[in-house]
């Protein structure tokens, strides 16, 4: 599972900017994927599917 950067941070080898994808095999030393997620620096990429439901398409009745 890859992560997406939410806050900029650096590792021993690389700098990450907001919106960057972090592949699973990336060396994050001295951090871990878990510590970055807990600190709000990285998270799951936003889903590409819309959360819209059929109820949202129905016109409202007055």
Q: Which residues have a Cβ under 8 Å from the Cβ of 28 and sit 6 or more positions away? A: 11, 22, 36
Tokens 């871990």 identify what position? 32
Distance (Å, rounded) from C-alpha 32 to C-alpha 3?
Answer: 12
pLDDT classification of 56: cutoffs 50, 70, 90? low
Predicted confidence (pLDDT) per residue in 26-52, tens digit: 999 999 999 999 999 999 887 765 455
Query: Is there a contact between 10 and 27 (Cβ–Cβ < 8 Å)?
Result: no
The model's confidence at residue 2, banded by pLDDT at 50, 70 and 90, is: confident
Share of the chain above pLDDT 70, in %: 73
């Amino acid at each position: 599972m890859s992560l997406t950067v939410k806050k900029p941070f650096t590792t021993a080898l690389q700098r990450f900017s907001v919106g960057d994808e972090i592949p699973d095999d990336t060396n994050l030393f001295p951090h871990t994927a878990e510590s970055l997620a807990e600190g709000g620096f990285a998270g799951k990429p936003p889903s590409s599917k819309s959360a819209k439901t059929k109820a949202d398409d129905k016109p409202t009745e007055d």
